[in-house]
Structure 1
Amino acid sequence: MEINPAVTFTHDRSIMYAKRPKVLIVGAGLAGLTLGMLLDKAGIPFEIYERAQEVKPLGSAMYFSANTAPMFKQCGIYDEFVSVSKPVLNMMICNEQRELEYMLPLQGHEELFGAEGYIVARPKFYDILRRQVPQERLHMGKKVLSMDQGGNGVLLRFSDGTEAEGDILVGADGAYSAVRQGLYEKLKKEKRLPPGDGTPLPFSTVCLVGQTRPLTAEEFPDIELPDCQFRTAVGTNRPFAWKTFTTAQRTVCFIIMQFLDTESSKDNDAFRNSEWGPEAAQAMCEQVKDFPVMNGGAEGVTMGDIINWTPKDLISKVMLEEKVFDTWFDCRTVLIGDACHKFNPSGGAGAANAMHDAIVLANLINGLPFHPIAEEIENAFAAYKRERIDWVKKAYSSSALFRTMAGPTMAAKMVRYIMKRIPTWAMRKAELRVLSNRPSVAFLPPQVDKGSVKPFFQPSLSAMAPVEKEKARVEGSSKEVVVDLEASTKAV
């Protein structure tokens, strides 16, 4: 395929067969799989390309609140999601003396927003999503070497010598997205890249994540409780915070965050571009093994015990970059999830916002006409960014606040002091700002939202597929004819 930026189509759609745009998705993470699931339900052709040879069950736990429930219900995965999750009633903030300092309530959301919040182990949820995508559409071991786009399509070249052609390219390949790097390199040469987008991803923390084997009540008494025991411990005189989550599988997921200063940041800089995996984790495991853990009764449990209960190949060290990029799209290429906005995981907003990206983008791709030209595609991408950018910036600020709250600085102590004394009405007001954003899929049957707080206006819900637009046009014309006939009869 020869990609020519100068080529544009001035075709007559009335004499051409109905062809939906083919979408190439790079990255089989949560954003890529969610988009694939939605495009499959819309009947839009797509392929997903993942650089890894296999997906390993790495990661910790994820929090999903009422703002993803509508999509889960529309896609028929909500009941299974709930069955492998635990409801979350509170976030508990603890100290190194294994004492509870205060709690942030996370309950009562069903009445207000239509659904409660749940904690789910990342591998369990990933498995649910992956099963929604036809396996023949998922291609592993596909590392992108280069990409081209123009008026007549997009072209990907992979390290195994193969190529892929399509109409739309979606970069869902994470914080160090190959699609973003390829797109930005082109824009930089053309002097169209904003200066801020060309700077390296900033990071101030690294973390250790993992999930234990199933535990007994003697080992970890909190396992028996029906709701997730979500605890955050803050180091007294060391730059660390650590979180534990009990799961429906009787495991404990954990995240241990190290807040970097100038020197420790240099020590971790070589790790910046490495893959998730156990190799880089061993030194950090030794560093945190004596950290105390609250568990509901058993005495003297430490992070060393948690680590010993965890299969070594399921422990990984990861970077915690934070940035919202300004450039999300160009021509036929668009970015979603961590590829265009990376949050600190302290706020628990990364996965939900990646899925919200996929919902809005799927709605707008579904609303494209048959045989869309590059300008029509780019207009849809612009609408996608307009709908998402304010919510993304709010989530970024919220995540930064939670990161600060868990840190060792004087500012962190001040935030914790305020959060400990914040009135219930103020907490509820903050929840209203976040959970009023409950996006739905425009082309799937809507679900009844029983929350007393109605969802915020969603522009992409008005996007209609070409056949729906034609049907609406014909029905509208028919109504006009009936009205004209009635008027003529009355005149006679």
Structure 2
Amino acid sequence: MNRPLKVIIIGAGIGGLSTAVALRRIGCNVEVYEQAPALRTAGSGLSVMSNASVAMSTLGINLNLEHFGAPIRHFEIRSTRDRLIRRLPLPEISSANGADSVCISRKALQQALLQQLDERCIHVGARVSAIHEGTDCVSISFDDGRTEQCDLLVGADGIYSFVREYIQGPQPVRTADYICWLAITRYQHPQITPGYVGHYWGAGKRIGLIDVGDGEVYWWGTANMKNEQARNWTGNTEDIMSFYNGWPAIVGDIISQTPVEDIISVAAQDRQFSANWGKGRVTLLGDAAHPMLTSLGQGAGMAIEDAAVLGHSLSINSDPVQALRQYEALRIPRAEMLVNASRTLSEVEQDDRFFHCLKRDLSLQFAPSASLKRSLENSLIFKAGSIGQLNSNTPEQTRG
């Protein structure tokens, strides 16, 4: 085949757009199909830790996220009585990595990725109805009657991925029995300095207050409740505030100042990890492959890492199917580690038993600095592994 590989990506979220950026960088012909009628821009914030930016930089890609969000400069965990439990050395680790960890609104991260793309490659209102794989191509059918063909198909279509079901068959999500409230609001407070991240830990409840730049603060809250109640939450701002009675004043203040229509509620969930990510000319990426709970703040970062490693694998393999299997083999161990670590940390953070909470807080407060740093580095350091690195100035053109 003497032409660039044609790759279709299903899903235009963070993983899908990052993959489009990475694969266009190495010379692929990329098209992205999104089932929603428009690109999602509303709602929440997220963190893109330094490992993600480092991964993309190995392809010669600089997302310049520091211009779109707020690099983390101060990360602390506090008690419900506003006592400092521990300051985490995340900024120092990120600096040693050579890239900032950045807190950013979903809309701003989307803008950063779109700046790297020709938006004509993105097609909305395109819900996949069928996938058919031949010996030398993949055919995709859409609900509106369209059909497309490609050399490779990447499923980046989230936790309820159609492509994942094509590969694995129906699999249940795994619930966590707590709710997450997410919101971005314009808010000023002397505690929230540039690059500030503050988490408050209580019994079965947490809240985070995070600078995302441009005068905006992203806040999230959690509270233990059965999954059915969490999925069907219809409460208002006052109802949310009632979960945090007696907490520091800043907590109730930021919740009360957020219009209820700007607060998103979601039931916490992930999936039991599966190492079955692909077959033939099809593979998975991001939440479609490894949805995880949010405790490590690595959902977006892992999707971006996936995109970079997939780009590397395709750039150095003449056989694109072999490249997909190499990508999966390289990514599965790290993804499994972080999915399981996120679940374990979530269970510790959401514990509502008094002595378990006391042990949790004291363990963090008195953890040796070296061991705490090593624990954080497990997720914050990206290693290219055996795939090698592209010359950032002369990327190869990928061919089938």
- The two structures have a TM-score, normalised by structure 2, of 0.88
- Partners of 2:173 and 2:270 within 8 A in 1: yes
C-alpha change, 1:307 and 1:415, in structure 2 (3 Å) is: closer
- Contact kept in structure 2, 1:89 and 1:107, CA below 8 Å: yes
Match of 2:210 in 1: 245
How far residue 24 of structure 1 moved from its aligned partner, in angstroms, is: 0.8
SS at match of 1:283: coil
| Counterpart contact for 1:67–1:436, Cα < 8 Å | yes
State the identity as a percent: 22
Structure 1: distance between partners of 2:124 and 2:398: 32
2:363 corresponds to which letter in structure 1? I
Aligned partners of 1:107 and 1:117 also within 8 Å: yes
Q: What is the RMSD computed on CA atoms of the aligned residues?
A: 2.9
| Unpaired runs of at least 5, structure 2 | none
Per-residue Cα deviation, 1:427-475 (whole angstroms, up to 9, x for no partner): 122234334424499445179xxxxxxxxxxxxxxx96568x9xxxxxx
Look up the equivalent residue of 1:389 and give its one-letter code: I
Report the counterpart of residue 61 of structure 2 in structure 1: 75
Q: 1:209 to 1:152 in 2, by over 3 A?
A: same
Residue in structure 2 matching 1:322, options 254, 258, 270: 270
| Deviations, residues 178-213 of structure 1 (Å, cap 9, x unaligned) | 11112333xxxxxxxxxxxx541101133111100x
Which structure 2 residues correspond to residues 31-46 of structure 1 after superposition, within 5 A?
Answer: 31-46=15-30
Task: Determine the structure 1 residue equivalent to 2:227.
Answer: 265
Between the aligned partners of 2:103 and 2:292, the Cα distance in structure 1 is 18
| Aligned mate of 2:175, from 168, 185, 203 | 203
Contact 1:92 1:102 in 2 (8 A): yes
Q: Which residue of structure 2 aligns with residue 222 of structure 1?
A: 191
Q: Is the 1:57–1:314 contact (alpha carbons within 8 Å) kept by the matching residues of 2?
A: no
Which digits, 9 at most, give the CA deviation of each residue in 1:154-176, with x for residues without a partner? 11111112111111111000000
User: Judging changes above 3 Å, is the alpha-carbon distance between structure 1 residues 307 and 387 closer, same or farther for their aligned structure 2 residues?
Assistant: same
Contact 1:207 1:317 in 2 (8 A): yes
Contact 1:361 1:381 in 2 (8 A): yes
Matches within 5 A, 1:132-151: 132-151=116-135
Deviation of 1:306 after TM superposition, in Å, equals 2.7
Output one character per residue of 1:12-41: Cα deviation in whole Å (capped at 9) or x when no partner: xxxxx6122211100001110011011222
Mapped to 1, the partners of 2:198 and 2:228 lie a distance apart of: 30
Paired residue type of 2:240: V
SS at match of 1:107: helix
State the structure with more CA Rg.
Answer: 1
Aligned-pair distance for 1:345?
A: 0.7
Contact 2:38 2:125 in 1 (8 A): yes
Residue 72 of structure 1 and its aligned partner are, at CA, apart by 5.0
User: Could you say what secondary structure the match of 2:91 adopts?
Assistant: coil
SS class of match (1:244): strand
Q: Which has the higher contact order (CA 8 A, sep 6+)?
A: 2
Tell me what 1:118 maps to: 102
- How many positions carry a matched residue from both structures? 392
2:73, 2:91 within 8 Å by CA — same for their partners in 1?
yes
Output the CA distance in 2 between the equivalents of 1:103 and 1:126.
30
TM-score with structure 1 length normalisation? 0.72
Alignment of 1:157-176 (within 5 A): 157-176=141-160
Distance 1:176 1:231 in 2: 31
Aligned to 1:234: 201
CA deviation string 1:123-164 (max 9, x = no partner): 211211122221110001111111111213111111112111
